[in-house]
Structure 1
Amino acid sequence: MRLAFSTNAYMRFPFDEAAGRIAALGYEGLELMADVPHAWPAGLLDGTKQAIVRSMQRHGLRFSNVNAFMMNAIADHRQPYWYPSFIEPDEGYRRVRIDHTRRSLDLCAELGAPHITTEPGGPIAPGQSRQEAIDLFVEVLKPLAEHAEQRGVLLLIEPEPGLLLETTDQYLEVAERVNAPSLGLNFDVGHAYCMAEDLPTQIAKLAHLTKHYHVEDIAASRVHHHLVPGTGAIDFRGVFEAIRETGYDGWVTVELYPFVDDPDVAARQAMEHLRPLVETPAGAG
């Protein structure tokens, strides 16, 4: 396993400076935010894309993921990055999310990143049944999964508390109906903890579908607020042992977007807590 850090904690820094800081703290990889201010795909110039690649090379980093979940550029009044969602009742507004996802898949392929992560269907709208929302989500995902396959990248869905797919098990229903090799799961450990999922059990159960992990800590209250690993209630030693037992050897990205005031401190503390767990074989210590 390799540790990466998401640039969504570095929204107050230009990309090159964010990459330099992340690399200096010992991370091997970086999750690129396909959003303002780093890489909003709509209108992103070739020169900017090339500068991102050069910056990654200069700092010795690799892409762990492209985060296409957040859409701060839209700044919807209901919530700054969940909206617009894949299940918006308004077809035109729904298209904004769809087009953003397609552009993010293109960007992912151009940059040589392995996959994008995206939202699991926004909150169910008033008057919209859960089944209607699921049906719409599946309908929207099928052509996007096909586009991802054509571009040679993966489209990963990230279950989140309060949205259409809240748990890792709920992802299964959608995955089976879309039935595309380019569709995968972004297993967010903190989100699963919020939903009181048994982490080792679900990590093992979903291992064949999980292509990337997000980690952050969560308080014992299970309230969805990202904390620095080691400052909440999640047993990360158990989590990393469970991941290791599946044979997973890919990226684990630390996602701490609430810490924009001092991302370096949060990133350093996370590294100090997680690096020994990544490097320690299962059962050791």
Structure 2
Amino acid sequence: MTTTNPLRLAYGTNGLTDLRLTDVLALLSDLGYDGVALTLDHMHLDPLAPDLASRTAQLARCLDALALSVAVETGARYVLDPRRKHHPTLLDPDPDARAARTALLRTAVRVAADLGATAVHCFSGPRPAGTPEPVAWQRLADALTPVLDTAATARIPLAVEPEPGHLLSDLAAFHHLRATLGAPPADVLGLTLDIGHCQCLEPAPPAACVRAAAPWLRHVQIEDMRRGVHEHLPFGAGEIDFPPVLAALRDTGYQGLVSVELPRHSHAGPDLARTSLSFLRAAEAAHTDTDTDTGPPSPARTPGPGGATAPPRPSVPSAGGPRC
């Protein structure tokens, strides 16, 4: 029977905002996660805090003690503007506003380097009303150039995420950005692929998107979703068939974190962290059993709430690891 290394699963801190960061990390370690997707925000690691360096050093020690890998995410809703969600963006008409976002991303790269992170995630933002598309693309390229310089120096890939409703909304748009920037190497400009977004709007199925994106893939976000509806859902509440997606990640040799992305579910975060890990490990095992066992395959999907389907959910024992 062929054996393969399991995928490295993580959970996003933007889905655990009601917990202190030390409690988040202890929870994920106890459940058996391999890492954490850390959104830089005021409640966990504030990128604008005057003592950011010392907090980052303390966090690095904690991650090391718990043997957790980390990816750095920059999608905090109000970290730069307390009144406008995700503003300013890299496409803002005001050059000073764009510079603020660029500065935040460069800070994120430096934090990621200090933490030994796998990647730094970012997105473009929507095209402002009245801005011609060619102007928007050039504006995005210009705003990202200093960030890519910092990423190259730090040897941390910047992983841009296609986001529904944004200028850079799909895989084709990612390649347009690469061409505009002169095709930087994937270890400088990589890709964050959100599996739910693939289900939402890509023409190909999510597993095919994974295979097409593999050469540039540096970070993965995962959740359930329905076609045409940009709503992050717990596993089993949407339409995605997960075993083929996880098999595609494994078969293409993806080495980064696969991070659960449920930013509107912090009220149930600890329970969803537990059930999400069980779901993903079972989905991964289901496809492996189908590929390699001589007996009947394990069920890949079983009835879930409201008629939704989901892999069976085995219990996950507590790791009982060290504390920060």
TM range (shorter): over 0.9
CA contact (8 A) 2:78 2:84 kept: no
Contact 1:76–1:84 (8 Å) recurs in 2: no
SS at structure 1 position matched to 2:158: strand
CA offset at residue 103 of structure 1? 0.6
Q: What is the rounded CA distance, in whole Å, between the counterparts of 2:261 and 2:142 in structure 1?
A: 29
Question: Paired residue for 1:184, among 187, 190, 193?
Answer: 190
Pairing 1:135–2:151 present: no
**Structure 1: distance between partners of 2:154 and 2:236:** 38
Q: Is the 8 A contact 2:243 2:283 kept in 1?
A: yes
CA distance in 2, matches of 1:270, 1:237: 14
Further displaced range: 255-264 or 272-281? 272-281
In the alignment, structure 1 residue 89 sits paired with structure 2 residue 96: no
- The list of structure 1 runs, each at least 4 consecutive aligned residues, that deviate by more than 3 angstroms after superposition, is 75-78
SS at match of 1:200: helix
Which of 96, 99, 103 does residue 99 from structure 1 map onto?
103
Q: Secondary structure at the match of 1:187?
A: strand
Change (3 A) 1:205 1:185: same
Contact persistence 1:194–1:222 (CA under 8 A):
yes
- Counterpart-to-counterpart distance in 2, 1:74 and 1:258: 20
The letter for the 2-side match of 1:138 is A
RMSD: 1.7
The residue that corresponds to 2:238 in the other structure is 232
Could you list the per-position Cα deviations for residues 1-31 of structure 1 after superposition, in whole angstroms to 9, with x for gaps in the alignment? 2101111111122110111111122211111
Q: Which residue of 1 aligns with 2:220?
A: 213
Say how many residue pairs are matched.
280
CA distance, structure 1, for counterparts of residue 224 and residue 51 of structure 2: 33
Distance in 1 (CA, whole Å) between partners of 2:157 and 2:254 is 16
Gaps of 5+ in 2: 1-6, 298-324
Equivalent in the alignment of 2:308: none
Secondary structure at the counterpart of residue 229 of structure 1: coil
> Normalising to structure 1: TM-score of the pair?
0.92
1:169 matched to 2:177:
no
Give aligned-pair identity as a percent.
28
Counterpart of 1:27 in structure 2 is 33
Q: Contact 2:118–2:218 (CA<8 Å) still a contact in 1?
A: no
Larger radius of gyration: 2
Which residue of structure 2 lines up, in the alignment, with residue 10 of structure 1?
16
Which residue identity does 2:291 align to in structure 1? G
Equivalent in the alignment of 1:283: 291
Cα contact 2:199–2:240 (8 A) shared by 1: yes
Code of the residue aligned with 2:156 in structure 1: it is: V
8 Å CA contact retained: 1:68, 1:118:
yes
Unaligned runs of 5+ in 1: none
Amino acid at match of 1:202: C
Which residue of structure 2 aligns with residue 268 of structure 1? Answer: 274
Q: TM-score, normalized by length of structure 2?
A: 0.82
Q: In structure 1, which of residues 148, 156, 160 is the aligned counterpart of residue 159 of structure 2?
A: 156
Alpha-carbon distance between aligned partners in 2 of 1:37 and 1:60, rounded to the nearest angstrom: 22
Instruction: Tell me the CA shift for residue 169 of structure 1.
Output: 1.7
Alignment map for 1:56-71 (pairs within 5 Å)? 56-63=63-70, 65-71=71-77
Q: Distance in 2 between matches of 1:264 and 1:185?
A: 28
Match of 2:149 among 137, 146, 164: 146
* C-alpha distance in structure 1 between counterparts of 2:46 and 2:184, whole Å: 26
- 1:71 CA drift (Å): 4.3
> Shift of the alpha carbon at 1:122?
1.1
SS in 2 for 1:5: strand
